[in-house]
Structure 1
Amino acid sequence: MDFTNPFHNTEKNNEITGWEPVLGGQLAEKAVWVDEAKCIGCQYCVHVASNTFTVDEFHGRSRAIRQDGDSSDVIQEAIDTCPVDCIHWVKFEELDNLENSLDRDMFQTFGKPPRMNKH
Structure 2
Amino acid sequence: MAAQQPAPGRSGFEPELGGLLRDGVERSGHEPELGGALRQKGVYVDEVTCIGCGHCAYVARNTFYLEAEYGRSRVVDQNGDATELIQEAIDCCPVDCIHWVDYTELPALEEQRRYQEIPDIGLPPTARKVRSRRPSVRRPRPKD
Into which bin does the TM-score normalised by the smaller protein fall?
0.7 to 0.9
Identity rate, percent: 46
| Residue of structure 1 aligned with 2:105, choices 94, 102, 109 | 94
Question: How many angstroms does 1:61 deviate by?
Answer: 0.2
Q: Which structure's relative contact order is higher, taking Cα pairs within 8 Å and 6+ residues apart?
A: 1
| Structure of greater Rg | 2
Is 2:69 the counterpart of 1:34? Answer: no
Counterpart of 1:56, as a letter, is E
Aligned residues: 106
Counterpart of 2:92, as a letter, is T
Helix, strand or coil at the partner of 1:107? strand
- The aligned counterpart of 1:79 is 90
- The aligned counterpart of 1:69 is 80
Question: How many angstroms does 1:20 deviate by?
Answer: 2.4
- The aligned counterpart of 1:20 is 31
TM-score (norm 1): 0.73
Structure 1 unpaired stretches of 5+: 4-9
| Deviations, residues 40-60 of structure 1 (Å, cap 9, x unaligned) | 000000010000000010110
TM-score (norm 2): 0.62
- The aligned counterpart of 2:5 is none
Counterpart of 1:58, as a letter, is E
CA RMSD of aligned residues (A): 3.0
Check the 8 A contact 2:48/2:119 in 1, yes or no: no
Question: How many angstroms does 1:13 deviate by?
Answer: 2.4
Counterpart of 1:96, as a letter, is P
